Amino acid sequence: MSDRSIQKFKEYVQKLNPIDDIIFRKMAENREFCEEILRTFLQDYHLKVLNNKSQYAITSIERRSVILDAYCELRDGRRVNIEVQNADNVNHQKRVRYYSSVLTTSLMKKGESFDNVPEVCMIYICNFDIFKENKSSYLIKRVIDGSNREVDNGFKEIYISANINDGTTLSELMGVFTKDDCYSENFPVTSKMKYDFKYVKEGNKMTDAMKELYDIFKEESKDKWIKEGRREGRREGIKEGRKEGVINTLLMLAKDGIISVEDAAKRANISVSMFQKYLNEKM
């Protein structure tokens, strides 16, 4: 890789944070990272993660498949899916409902008793206030209408507003997730991994973490996006935008909130409504 390509990549990565899918998916491969953030999300500081998988695919021939950003199996048997969402451009609650049902179905064997349905928790991290109530966290409960009696079917649904700072430990963690050069001694694993992705340690060499991220970035953006895709208005960029590979790259960047839907549609030389349709199909 050329020095120019490396430098452009470094500049790009330094603008990213764990709230961005391309960073989060790599960090989620680390069990200690998953354990550290889940202890805060679930307010369980003795929580242990037995297994974790990033970009965990649940495929179906006849129905829509899903790819979970981070899937964790806890020591107490609970299964947790963590999703990060930068853009407010889908029906988030229905997405959570569908993901949870697909995950639950995948964990059950044919003919198995419903007593064995595992406890599933969906944690949906949004870089916006999804319910507009100025809260950093929303725990959705099932209650009986008229009595407010809570009933538990083994499914927990939590939405986190990464942009709300209410002085809680959760908000402190979300600061690390969303703000450039924001780190915390209370979250050493998350902070160190974020720093290692964003910066080099010596000379002009990449860290191992950055090399892995570069491989993903190069594959998804075809490396051409680094050189041409950001040159707004260039005729070559518009021409390439008609090709399926570049459109897929634009969809990825729009999903991660790196560029707006309007800007992506313009680069792809298609209407905003058509681009939004493609984006919804990718969600």
Residue 219, H or E segment: helix 208-221
Q: What's the token pair of residue 73?
A: 């199996």
Residue range 217-237: mean pLDDT, rounded: 53
Lowest mean pLDDT among 109-123, 160-174, 200-214: 200-214
Domain assignments of the chain as residue spans, ordered by start: 14-199, 223-282
Measured CA to CA, the distance from residue 62 to residue 240 in angstroms comes to: 33
CA dist list (Å): 142 to 48, 145, 152, 246, 270: 26, 9, 7, 43, 43
Instruction: For residue range 69-126, list pLDDT tens digits in order.
Output: 999 999 999 999 999 999 898 999 999 999 999 999 999 999 999 999 999 999 999 9
Measured CA to CA, the distance from residue 250 to residue 267 in angstroms comes to: 8
Contact present, 231 and 243 (Cβ < 8 Å): no
How far from the centroid of its chain's Cα atoms is residue 131's Cα? 19
Q: Which class for 195: exposed (0-12), middle (13-18), buried (19 or more C-beta within 10 A)?
A: middle
pTM (2 d.p.): 0.74
Helices (H) then strands (E): counts for the chain: 12, 8
pLDDT of 207 > 70? The answer is no
pLDDT in the model for residue 242: 47
Backbone angles phi, psi at 158, to 5 degrees: -125, 130
pLDDT of 202 > 60? The answer is no
Of residues 19, 75, 210, the one with CA closest to residue 28: 19
pLDDT in the model for residue 1: 54
Measured CA to CA, the distance from residue 177 to residue 185 in angstroms comes to: 14
pLDDT of 237 > 50? The answer is no
